[in-house]
Amino acid sequence: MTTHSVEAPLPTLPAHLPAAALGTAPGRGLLAGRRLLVVGGGQQTYGQTDPPIGIGRAVSILAAREGAAVAVADVDPAAAQSTADRIHAEGGNAHAVAGDAANPDQAASMVTAAASALGGLDALVLNTGIAAGIGLAGTSGTDWDRVMAVNVRAHFLALQAALPLLPPGSAITLTSSAAAQVVTATEIPAYTTSKAALGGLCAYAAKEYAPRRVRVNVVMAGLIDTSLGRLASQIRPDRDNTPIPLGRQGTAWEIAAATVFLLSDSASYITGVTLPVDGGLTGVQ
């Protein structure tokens, strides 16, 4: 995606959001003892000034607050380290891991490095995602292949590498987007298609992992106030006028809260599902 020269106006959020939506709620020990790898746990600004926290970083920080030891993986080593530093500053346990999740060798190395640093793995969050191309005519084959590699192949490679390491009781989440169901939410066909593909990958992985008592679910994010979301609104300003039943965009902390729930034992009988966290965008007509 190409950065526009004019900043989009910031989304209007209610004056009084709950603490969980603001990232200020205290941890409750939901992930105590978990050893979690977050793939895509760094953050990019996409040219935004004073960007809000991104989903991967919010998941990493909230998981650590809930008691998990976290390996933060990202293609950008500095971004991964910055997330780990924020966790350390709060007294949490974190390690930064660098690598290209779409590269088979590097994806496997990230998983093994995380397991080594944490003394094993029993939780995995797959959060890599990019967008490229506008419309069918404006999407090149290179755009398409790059988006599919980062948004789908990277998830497959991480699952493949992690399977032999995950003990019974482990849990995995994949981060998708409401664009998979609401095609008017984006003008980027590669992104829409890649996010839709995660539902199929989740269903298959949940089936294959079930005999090992490993759960796999999708968190489907709606319109969320992130750097990438603000960039999307610059490119398509009417995005911010999308009629969301709850009347606002979400925060990355709200996606993180849903992710932590699905990783926790509170969701011990949930697998193979897609959980929309979208203010009613996909479910309320």
Shortest CA distance to 96 belongs to which of 104, 105, 87? 87
- Check: pTM over 0.85? Answer yes or no: yes
Quickly count: other Cβ atoms within 10 Å of residue 213's Cβ: 14
Q: Note the pLDDT of residue 285.
A: 60
Alpha helices, DSSP H only, in 167-244? 189-209, 227-235
Return d(Cα 7, Cα 25) in angstroms, integer: 30
Are the CB atoms for 55 and 42 separated by under 8 Å? Answer: no
Per-residue pLDDT of the chain (285 residues; tens, 9 = 90+): 433 333 444 455 565 788 999 998 989 999 999 999 999 999 987 777 788 899 999 999 999 999 999 999 999 999 999 999 999 999 999 999 999 999 999 999 999 999 999 999 999 999 999 888 989 999 999 999 999 999 999 999 999 999 999 999 999 999 999 988 887 667 889 999 999 999 999 999 999 999 999 999 999 999 998 877 777 777 677 777 788 899 889 999 999 999 999 999 999 999 999 999 999 998 886
Q: Supply φ then ψ for residue 97, to 5 degrees.
A: -130, 135
DSSP 57-120: HHHHHHHHHTT-EEEEEESSHHHHHHHHHHHHHTT--EEEEE--TTSHHHHHHHHHHHHHHHTS
Tokens at 168, concatenated = 């019974």
As beta bridge partners, residue 94 has 70
Q: Note the pLDDT of residue 186.
A: 75
Tokens at 211, concatenated = 């005999």
As beta bridge partners, residue 98 has 74
Return d(Cα 21, Cα 241) in angstroms, integer: 21
SS3 253: helix
Among 191, 204, 209, 269, the active-site one is 191
Structural domains in the chain, CATH included, are 29-277 (3.40.50.720)
Amino acid at 239: R
Return d(Cα 175, Cα 278) in angstroms, integer: 13
SS3 186: coil
Residue 46 is a catalytic residue:
no
